[in-house]
Structure 1
Amino acid sequence: MKFNAWRAAALGTALAGSALAAQAVTVGLMAPLSGPQALVGQDQVDGFSLAVEQLGGKLGGQPLTLLKEDDQLKPEIGQQIVRKLIDKDKADAIVGLSFSNVLMGSLPRLAESGVVALATNAGPSPIAGAQCKANVFSLAWQNDGAAEAMGKFAQDRGLKRVYLMAPNYQAGKDMLAGFKRFYKGQVIDEVYTQVNQPDYSAEIAQLQAASPEAVFVFYPGGMGINFVKQMSQAGLMGKLPLYSVFTVDGTTLPSLRESAVGTVSGAMYDAALDTPENRKFVAAFEAKYKRTPSLYAATGYDAAQLLDAALRKSGGDAKKLAAAVKAAGGEFKSVRGPFRFGKNNMPVQNYYAFETVRDGGKLATRLIGTPLASHADPYAAQCNLP
């Protein structure tokens, strides 16, 4: 009887363990999937989906339920989606979280819930500093990082007079602040435009009249396509050096084509990076989607890989998942090269400089420097996380 009871208890434990292993993981992926920034959101979805496919449709060995949501780049819609994912769908993790303005609008509910939030396209300075949260991570970048790299790049090149432009929201302000942190020359003007503004002709005329040595801009997605094309139409491309972040990349280059030649971009990733992990990722992405992956696709891909590692570490325990994500950040192999999370759950990573060039009749990007290596953001000291 004792043996049978023990055997029954052991069998019950095994069955419970088996049920736990088979339990589905629910992940919400929120991104702009319509409007001018849809190409940014879709690349995140495609990168994440590719990694999940390579992992056999599972994360942490458990079947995945992936809920894709379109926030339309509107903070109020983002808040509704986050509440739905947390309260109704009981999501184990939320990935993507859109642009900085959408992420900031959802921060109170995310922090209150304790659900792991993994941003793949934002790292606003408040969250990097005093408003850091134990369950909120950026797998992408702290917003200032790539801009800081371009500021250092411009400084190293000896530029004396630079003109700055960005859309008027948190990320735009972070980008220009980052550039100025490392650039010590004269900033002739600092111009903020409306989010999703389609026409920059008036601002380009003012830029031309100011006669700077170079212009630094942050215009992601459709904004970047419009801005660079209008710069080209004004006859400034090739005459006025254009330094940018999140403006000329894998999502915009197919539309920009020749008008992007000669531009220099700061980023933590480009398909041109020559690492074993990236070569495999680029080959798989191009085979599946018939296009070159952008940095947004890379962060989406890394997010799935990181969650897979973290779920294995946590043993499926939701209460341990945030700590597991933090630990796994320093262990999984990112396609971008060296990576770990800092004290504030922001990336510590390389920021590179890439130039768009003609290569055998085709457009390509080439690595021309690493202005900031293993770079941590300046806000971590304000974060009270252990």
Structure 2
Amino acid sequence: MTQILNGFGRRALLGGAALGTGALAMPPVLRAQGAPVRIGLVAVLTGPQAALGTHLRDGFQLGMRHLENRLGGRAAEVLVIDDELRPDAAVTKVRAALERDRCDFIVGVVFSNILAAIIRPVTETQTFLISTNAGPSPIAGRGCSPFFFATSYVNDQNHAVLGAAANDGVEVGGQNRVIRRAVIITPNYQAGRDAAAGFKSTFRGEVLDEIYVPLTTTDFSAELAQIAARRPEGIYTFMPGGLGVQFVRQYRQAGLNIPVLSAFTVDEAVLPAQGESALGLFTGTTWTPTLPNEQNARFVRDFEGQFGYVPASYAAHAYDSAFLLDSAVRRVGGNLADKAALRTAIRAAEFRSVRGPFRFGANHFPVQDFWLARVGRRPDGKSQTEHLRKVFENATDPFAAECRMPAG
């Protein structure tokens, strides 16, 4: 069963029968014994970045469908929360999900500013928060929490992939081109700053300029002219969602022939809108639809069959989160009251990931492989990211050493 919270106190049913008021008023003892596991799924579903949240939502819902809407053998319900990309709205709705709807887990979150807003209200209630995308570095380091896990990455990591790839070179026109001089352009918020830091952490060349733009930018003509004037050998950019659509289109319109290396700028969430403009551009990622393993093949096939579009990493990581919760609830025998046992069960991560082997590091972020990928066209005409080479293997994020996991 899935519900959606679009505003405080208002809900519209996406599937199944609506919950009655009696279910919401169920005494805690009875609820603990027989009520379904409740998951609050947080995603941006309005505005220009809604495509990203739609992938996240659909990926998690496919995971639940594959699990027959059960977690560890217990019936489960998903309440979809539209955070509207507004921290204040996200906090209000998440608090309602915890206090009124008594959600057992909060899952999701595309943007780091939303995660930063809700992490304290969630973890202070000793409710587990599973991020399927956002991974700001402070939460991976000194701000780590025993009630927070991520199935994605630390923001910096995908960007560090591109710095390392630039050093070794990328194939352009059949030739390998090493990038020695680059310009960085990202949005001016935490994840954008993390992106620049991640790229610079591995890039051995010269950064000619760092350009930071507002999240509301739609016209990049001035910035592209500035980049062209610096004559770099490569552009590094992080432009998620609608930002990426505009940037890539305008990059092509400007007639630039500078290799673009990016993270979250060209992915399956925006490729349909970018069209041919994105072909051949590079990205750093933990996952692509082409990774060769059985779980991934099933995920991609069934996702396209169910929703009619190619999934992005937002969907893949959310899909993994459903199986992570299933493994944890199963390991504790359905008893969610023992928080220490449940935390140990989540940390064990006894499930098959679409990425292959999966395990958590000491700060509850994955230890995993990272790939250089490029946008290509499939035989059916659709675009997708395609893995080229493994850049990092079993990588631990650079902030894990700063985490001193609090007890409790």
Matching of residues 135-146 of structure 1 within 5 Å: 135-146=147-158
| One of 164, 169, 175 as aligned partner of 2:189 | 169
The residue identity in structure 1 corresponding to 2:281 is T
CA contact (8 A) 2:245 2:273 kept: yes
Structure 1 residue 321: deviation in Å? 2.2
Structure 1 residue 360: deviation in Å? 5.0
Structure 2 counterpart of 1:251: 269
Q: Which has more radius of gyration?
A: 1
Structure with greater helix share of residues: 1
List per-residue Cα deviations over 1:325-359 (Å, max 9, x = no partner): 1112xx21110123211101111111111111345
CA contact (8 A) 1:338 1:374 kept: no
The residue identity in structure 1 corresponding to 2:264 is F
Percent identical pairs in the alignment equals: 41
Structure 2 counterpart of 1:116: 128
The residue identity in structure 1 corresponding to 2:242 is G
CA contact (8 A) 1:71 1:98 kept: no
CA distance in 2, matches of 1:361, 1:300: 26
Structure 1 residue 175: deviation in Å? 1.1
CA contact (8 A) 1:146 1:268 kept: yes
TM-score, normalising length from structure 1? 0.91
CA contact (8 A) 1:120 1:138 kept: yes
Structure 1 residue 267: deviation in Å? 0.5
Structure 2 counterpart of 1:235: 255
CA contact (8 A) 1:275 1:335 kept: yes
Q: Give SS of 2:374's match.
A: strand
1:197 to 1:356, Cα distance in 2 relative to 1, 3 A: same
CA distance in 2, matches of 1:266, 1:275: 19
The range that moved more, 303-312 or 96-105, is 96-105
Structure 1 counterpart of 2:232: 212
Q: Does 1:327 align with 2:339?
A: no
Structure 1 residue 65: deviation in Å? 1.6
| One of 203, 218, 223 as aligned partner of 1:183 | 203
CA distance in 1, matches of 2:317, 2:134: 11
Q: Does 1:347 align with 2:359?
A: no
Structure 1 residue 188: deviation in Å? 0.5
Tell me how large the CA RMSD over aligned residues is.
Answer: 1.7
The residue identity in structure 2 corresponding to 1:52 is M
CA distance in 1, matches of 2:77, 2:53: 19
Structure 1 residue 361: deviation in Å? 7.7
Q: Does 1:284 align with 2:302?
A: yes
Unpaired runs of at least 5, structure 2: 1-29, 170-177
| One of 24, 47, 59 as aligned partner of 2:59 | 47
The residue identity in structure 2 corresponding to 1:252 is V
The residue identity in structure 1 corresponding to 2:345 is A
The residue identity in structure 1 corresponding to 2:248 is V
Unpaired runs of at least 5, structure 1: 1-17
CA distance in 1, matches of 2:322, 2:222: 42
CA distance in 1, matches of 2:136, 2:75: 32
1:189 to 1:249, Cα distance in 2 relative to 1, 3 A: same
The residue identity in structure 2 corresponding to 1:323 is T
Structure 2 counterpart of 1:96: 108
CA distance in 1, matches of 2:153, 2:301: 24
| One of 318, 330, 336 as aligned partner of 1:317 | 336
CA distance in 1, matches of 2:77, 2:376: 41
| One of 283, 287, 290 as aligned partner of 1:265 | 283
CA contact (8 A) 2:39 2:107 kept: yes
List per-residue Cα deviations over 1:308-328 (Å, max 9, x = no partner): 111111222232322211112
CA contact (8 A) 1:351 1:375 kept: yes
The residue identity in structure 2 corresponding to 1:231 is Y
Structure 1 counterpart of 2:213: 193
| One of 75, 91, 102 as aligned partner of 1:79 | 91
Structure 1 residue 196: deviation in Å? 3.1
CA contact (8 A) 2:244 2:265 kept: yes
CA distance in 1, matches of 2:348, 2:296: 22
List per-residue Cα deviations over 1:193-237 (Å, max 9, x = no partner): 11132111111111111110010100111111111011111112x
Matched residues, number: 366
CA distance in 1, matches of 2:49, 2:93: 18
